[in-house]
Structure 1
Amino acid sequence: MSAAVVAGGAVLATLLVAALTLWCVTRVRRLHRLHVRVDAARAGLAAALDSRARVALALADALGPAAPPDLRRAADAALALPAPAPDGRDPAGSRAAREAAENALTRQLAVVGRGSARSGPCDDLADAEALVVLARRVHNDAVRDTRALRSRRLVRLLRLHGTAPEPVYFEIADPEPPRSPARPHVESPRSPTVM
């Protein structure tokens, strides 16, 4: 009878180890997919921020002397700073500096009257700002999901995240969308929403 108890205990232990191993493998795979998602979202955010800065420069050129004097300076500063680091680290405060530069650019763009320039640059600006809002939300959602899984007790205890750095949020103020009675704020002038 003791041999049967020992054999049963061995089978139970084997099943527990197999279940824990399977759980760990699924969590590691999920963490890897989430980190890949964060990297892709970070690249999309960097592209959207750079695109908005280039559109702001084009808008400053289109406005000519009517452009706010700090608009070109804010756009140049945003383009000059590095994009959010691919590994999530913030070397020498570059992420914080980029966030501050993007907030300064948002403030400068809010000063610009949308009706004062030709419709092309203003339409491009509306599209670029909408893309920045969307890209930042996608990025921060991916960061939130990754941090939530990494914060689980067993994931931290077993260090299932490996050597991947913890992703960080990119916090900037969202630009206010231009609103007019003729065009709802949810539509892009180039691709209207069909309802």
Structure 2
Amino acid sequence: MTAPATLLLAAVVLVVAALTLWCLTRVRRLHRLHARTDAARAGLAVALDRRVTVARRVAAVVAPPVAERLRRAADAATAVPAPAPDGRDPAGVREEREVCENALTRALAAVDRAGLDPRLAAGLADAEVFVVLARRVHNDAVRDTRVLRSRRLVRWFHLHGTAPEPVYFEVADPEPAGSPVGSDVESIRHPTAM
């Protein structure tokens, strides 16, 4: 073999080895990000279920018109399944659950918290904060996963495998207690630019 051919072969081997190593690191990173997203989705489901449970306890002690609205919103939220653990969204369940959770946020915003037992009011505030944090953690994990999946070489080599592309879960954050502005659940949802 001549010297130029040997150098060319060595260069090709080096490029293939570097590309293989890069692909392996991306696959591992994608796997970790998908696992993180799955865990965040499970945490979000727990937070949403916890808020529904507290909303039902609140509905049991508030005035009838507010209690009925709160009960209906809680029932609607539990009638639609929480985000699936594997990230799949059969028949648009995620969007329907988002709508139900926003209705529950509006119903909870109408509750006079000063009239509640302090322990129940604190439990409600904790449940709402837990939903806000769980949603943010979930959406951060989704964003990080989608950013890596959108890289050109990751798409070309199909490094994400058969994992479904994760989707954001968008619900309105309740306004803090004492805020002059109500919950902003009527705003138009803006898609995140990637």
Counterpart Cα distance in 1 of 2:6 and 2:95: 59
Q: Which runs of 5+ in 2 are unaligned?
A: 180-194
What percent identity do the matched residue pairs reach? 66
What is the deviation of 1:80? 2.1
Q: Deviations over 1:15-49 (max 9, x none)?
A: 11000000000000000000000000000000000
Residue pair 2:60, 2:67 contacting (<8 A) in 1 also:
no
Counterpart Cα distance in 1 of 2:110 and 2:67: 8
Residue pair 2:48, 2:131 contacting (<8 A) in 1 also:
yes
Counterpart Cα distance in 2 of 1:11 and 1:101: 60
Indicate how the Cα distance of structure 1 residues 35 and 43 shifts in structure 2: closer, same or farther if over 3 A, else same: same
Amino acid corresponding to residue 96 of structure 1 in structure 2: E
Q: Which residue of 2 aligns with 1:176?
A: 175
Q: Which residue of 1 aligns with 2:186?
A: none
Q: Which residue of 1 aligns with 2:143?
A: 144
Verify: 1:69 aligned to 2:68, yes or no: yes
Choose 116-125 or 60-69, whichever is displaced more.
Answer: 60-69
What secondary structure, in the 3-state scheme, does the structure 2 residue paired with 1:94 have? helix
Counterpart Cα distance in 2 of 1:105 and 1:117: 18
Residue pair 1:62, 1:118 contacting (<8 A) in 2 also:
no
Counterpart Cα distance in 1 of 2:121 and 2:79: 23
What secondary structure, in the 3-state scheme, does the structure 2 residue paired with 1:178 have? coil
Amino acid corresponding to residue 98 of structure 1 in structure 2: R
Q: Which residue of 2 aligns with 1:116?
A: 115
Verify: 1:127 aligned to 2:113, yes or no: no
TM-score by length of 2: 0.88
Counterpart Cα distance in 2 of 1:100 and 1:67: 19
Q: Deviations over 1:38-80 (max 9, x none)?
A: 0000000000000000000001112253744210111111122
Q: Which residue of 1 aligns with 2:190?
A: none
What secondary structure, in the 3-state scheme, does the structure 1 residue paired with 2:60 have? helix
Q: Which residue of 2 aligns with 1:165?
A: 164
Counterpart Cα distance in 2 of 1:120 and 1:65: 21
Count residues in correspondence.
Answer: 179
Choose 22-31 or 5-14, whichever is displaced more.
Answer: 5-14
Residue pair 2:66, 2:107 contacting (<8 A) in 1 also:
no
Q: Which runs of 5+ in 1 are unaligned?
A: 181-195
Verify: 1:24 aligned to 2:33, yes or no: no
Over the aligned positions, Cα root-mean-square deviation in angstroms equals 1.4
1:62-101 alignment to 2 at 5 Å? Answer: 62-63=61-62, 65=64, 67-101=66-100
Amino acid corresponding to residue 60 of structure 1 in structure 2: A
Counterpart Cα distance in 1 of 2:116 and 2:66: 9
Counterpart Cα distance in 2 of 1:82 and 1:69: 22
Amino acid corresponding to residue 106 of structure 1 in structure 2: T
TM-score by length of 1: 0.88
